[in-house]
Amino acid sequence: MGGWLLILLMSVSVSAELPRLEQPLKGDGTLSFVVIGDWGRKGTYNQSEVATQMGSVAAKLNIDFVISTGDNFYDDGLTGIDDPSFETSFSNIYTAKSLQKQWYNVLGNHDYRGDVEAQLNPILHKIDHRWICQRSFIVDTEIAEFFFVDTTPFVDKYFLEPKDHKYDWRGVLPREKYLSNLLKDLEIALEDSTAKWKIVVGHHPVRSIGHHGDTQELITQLLPILEANNVDMYVNGHDHCLEHISSTSSQMQFLTSGGGSKAWKGDMDKDKRDGVKFYYDGQGFMSVELQQTNAKLVYYDIFGKVLHVFNLSKGLNSAM
């Protein structure tokens, strides 16, 4: 009896590791949101143009929230909780009424070059109620569960060859322990999930044909966990482009939305076309409309022009 209780308590405390937020659905049981990445440049590099179009798409879809795939503030994150960039790159840019919703943010590598704890500080949520940023967390919406994953600490080169950049690794060291706990917590949360749609969000791509390309550390350490748990979508930024790649070994879709400001790198890995459905080198964003058995995804450029649309569907009998 006592033993059972202990096991129960242990499993509860382990699986409770990732903070969990609840996000209500629309009255009709659906959900819609937009995704933007790699954005905070005080309006420059078409950031403001993307913001305007995002506002009008968000109004049309009556979105429930915004997802940011990280690199929220260039070049080096925030200097502190009173950094004026929070207003000049965020609050004063995404001003449309339709964008006055919760923003769920992850951190990118550029964010780690500033005061990371400032971006995580709940005071920012007081300054602008939209702002929610944690390292790794879950947003539960009933039909979909979103697993936000802090991917920067996975990438070896930031530790081994930081060049002249300083990364703020407070809260991440010792690194091996941080990563193994994160992977374990994510795996437990994915295994426990009964949501119809499982969507994982991180800054770095698993697969990309853009400037940075695949993230080998994520292919080795994260991807097996995602595939074993039937994740539907992996959503990321980091490459300043828009892309859609279908996995060749599972149903997973790799979706890059990293076109929030500076783009047009002009390079793309032409040899890695396996599963590539769409690639756009310029600025823009994407929208997602989720229903029980159907998801509609759309990519837009800075004029609001639709660049790529696709639907994903789930059989009525498909596993939960």
Ligand X SMILES: *[C@@H]1O[C@H](CO)[C@@H](O)[C@H](O)[C@H]1NC(C)=O
Q: Which residues bind ligand X (CB under 6 A)?
A: 45-46, 263-264, 282-283, 289, 294, 296, 302, 311
Q: Which is nearer to ligand X, 125 or 296 (CB)?
A: 296
* Rounded CA separation 283/264 (Å): 8
* Rounded CA separation 134/308 (Å): 30
At residue 155, φ and ψ (nearest 5 deg) are -85, 115
* Rounded CA separation 49/96 (Å): 12
53: region left, alpha or beta (phi > 0 left; psi from -120 to 50 alpha): alpha
Which 3 state secondary structure label does DSSP give 79?
coil
Shortest distance in whole angstroms from residue 45 CB to ligand X: 5
Candidates 215, 152, 204; CA nearest to 178 is: 152
165 marked ligand binding residue: no
Shortest distance in whole angstroms from residue 119 CB to ligand X: 25
Q: Which whole-number Å values give the CA distances from 37 to 73, 103, 220, 230, 284, in the listed order?
A: 10, 12, 24, 24, 9
Q: Which is nearer to ligand X, 286 or 302 (CB)?
A: 302
Q: Which is nearer to ligand X, 216 or 294 (CB)?
A: 294
* Rounded CA separation 157/163 (Å): 9
What are the tokens at 173? 């060291």
Q: Which is nearer to ligand X, 207 or 238 (CB)?
A: 238
Q: Which is nearer to ligand X, 81 or 312 (CB)?
A: 312
Shortest distance in whole angstroms from residue 312 CB to ligand X: 9
74 marked ligand binding residue: yes
57: region left, alpha or beta (phi > 0 left; psi from -120 to 50 alpha): alpha
- Among 110, 165, 211, 212, the active-site one is 212
Shortest distance in whole angstroms from residue 184 CB to ligand X: 36
Shortest distance in whole angstroms from residue 9 CB to ligand X: 43
* Rounded CA separation 44/65 (Å): 24
Q: E strands within 247-305?
A: 253-257, 276-280, 285-290, 294-300
203 marked ligand binding residue: yes
Q: Which is nearer to ligand X, 213 or 304 (CB)?
A: 304
71 marked ligand binding residue: yes
240 marked ligand binding residue: yes
Q: Are 31 and 81 in contact (CB under 8 A)?
A: no
Shortest distance in whole angstroms from residue 173 CB to ligand X: 37
Verify whether residue 211 is a known catalytic residue. no
Across 258-269, b (16+ Cβ under 10 Å) vs e yields bbbbbbeeeebe
**Residues flagged as binding site for Fe cation:** 38, 71, 74, 109, 203, 238, 240
Catalytic positions = 212
**Residues flagged as binding site:** 38, 71, 74, 109, 203, 238, 240
